[in-house]
Amino acid sequence: MIRWAVWLMASSGAAMACDADGVPMVAQENEAPAVYLAVGEVPLAQPFSMRVTVCDDRAITALRVDAIMPAHQHGMNYTPRVTALGRGVFAVDEMLFHMPGRWQVQVDVALGGQATSYTFDIAAR
Amino acid sequence: MKAWLVAAVLAMAGAVQAEVLLSDAEISQTLSFGPWPPQVRPDASNRVSGQAAAIALGAALFNDPLLSVDGAFSCASCHDPEQGFTTPQARAVGRVLLDRNSPSLRNLAGLRWYGWGGKSDNLWAASLHPIVDAQEMGHRPESLKRAISESLYAADFQGVFGDIRDQDAEMVLVNTAKLLSAYLETLVTPPTAFDAFREALARGDQAAAERYPDTAQRGLQLFLGRGNCVFCHNGARFSNNEFHDAGVPYFLSETSVDEGRFGGLNFLLSSAYTLDGVWSDDAEATGAWWVRNLRRSHADFGRFRTPSLRGVAETAPYMHDGSLPDLEAVIRHYSEIDTERLHADGEAILAPLHLNAQESADLVAFLETLSAGP
């Protein structure tokens, strides 16, 4: 069974409307709060880091990060590390894309009593 | 689009036209296979990594049958320095015929996993396991400590690690493995014709790049494109150092199988000799993330680690069981692969390539340029 990298809220700090870095992720539902993904160069088969910013002033109760390679029907071989930095910003470390091609980053955000899924495609070369 | 299509010496009548056949995208991909050799930091989990005295003693022990309990063979018996640190046998011969091909021991520094099934996450553990495997060197820690203590190497050993009487048998075993690891880290294949081509592309030296044979360039194009080889064989080592089902049968007999990565993970997760264990010298436990955060899958069954292709022409036979005798057979395997042998829920990567004779020859020509040659 695939485990997800998950961060569960340990404090009641709320996410803020934000001045986010990165690119907007694609929400799977309408009217979802904006989520931004900041990622630099993605080294193939080597660990890299990302930053996820949730633009909402409600408390975030969980945030999960994963990635899959849709064309190959597989995901990552390791669970990445998610660390809450405060104000809706999360560091995501130990991501590893072990093959070149299109990867789909998946982020699930739980806030306000409901979860919303986001995706963003990254080409690993 | 061809990047460079200019003939080498158009003004000379009868001159052979040479060119770089690769597109801009292919050149960009090609640059990702270097530079070579890569910069590797000393192994923080091995306090003698990079130390000259440890490297010299490790080299001596590697070639000495002292490391087998009865003096029957040395590490070099299965990893012959004269044969690319492997042997021509399909499957290694220890005290019995083993299940797998002896992998080459070059370019091992800094990898995430070691062995066909990845049962080690560091090089000193990978060096340790054969010493105490009953089917291989057959030592117990106590017999190894006695052998080292009574050998000509005792003084040098103590010069590196201190008085051997202060070390329990397991510590002597681990320290011996760290000596071997320090030596193995130094085994690096030299730059090759491919590297000269890549370097020429990197600095925009068209004349130098054009010296790379057309047949190897066409093989490289297949490697990057239709062959899909680059999915797993990527980076400077031509390996993503992960685990895949290459469609090679993993039945050892009618009643037994080689579990591949599945078995490797079972071994790894019960091992005391990981980067997450007490025998690592790295207080920061750098690299322990991988063993702590592995994802397991039943599809790991029958998966094997992607081997590096550096020096590949020197290390026949091929695949985890040595079942393919030469590079032509490897190309034929992927060209005619039986997808029925692949996991039904595995990766959707492999399909028969249906290469013609010229394409197969081109791929072999490319692979041969990853070796320095005689």
Instruction: Kindly state whether A76 is in contact with chain B, defined as any CB-CB distance less than 8 angstroms.
Output: yes
Q: Per residue in B261-274, pLDDT tens?
A: 999 999 999 999 99
Output the pLDDT for position B299: 87
The verdict on a CB contact (< 8 Å) between A73 and B347 is yes
Of A45, A72, A78, the CB nearest to B349: A72
Q: Which residue has the tokens 């690769």?
A: B22
**Closest CA of chain A from B226, distance in Å:** 14
Q: B350 to chain A: nearest residue by CA?
A: A72
Q: What is the pLDDT of residue A8?
A: 52
> Shortest CB distance from B235 goes to which of A45, A74, A78?
A45
Q: Is A3 a residue whose pLDDT tops 60?
A: no
Q: Pick the residue of A3, A48, A98 with the most B CBs within 10 A to test the interface with B by mutation.
A: A98
Yes or no, beta carbons of A72 and B235 under 8 Å apart: no
State how far the Cα of B42 lies from the Cα of B91, in Å rounded to an integer.
32
Contact check, Cβ <8 Å, A44/B28: no
Look at residue A16 in the predicted model and tell me its pLDDT.
Answer: 46
Residues of chain B with pLDDT under 70: 1-17, 344-347, 374
| pLDDT computed for residue B17 by the predictor | 53
Q: What is the DSSP string of B302-327?
A: TBEEPPP-TTGGGS-SBSTT--B-SH
**Residue A75 contacts B, CB cutoff 8 Å:** yes
Entry pTM: 0.90
Tens digits of residue pLDDT in B181-238: 999 999 999 999 999 999 999 999 999 999 999 999 999 999 999 999 999 999 999 9
Q: What pLDDT score was predicted for residue B16?
A: 45
Question: What's the pLDDT at B12?
Answer: 40
Q: For A26-48, how does the pLDDT look when each residue is reduced to its tens digit (9 = 90+)?
A: 999 888 999 999 999 899 989 99
- B residues 231..290 contacting A (CB < 8 A): 231-232, 234-235, 240-243, 289-290
Q: Give the Cα separation of B139 and B151 in Å (integer).
A: 15
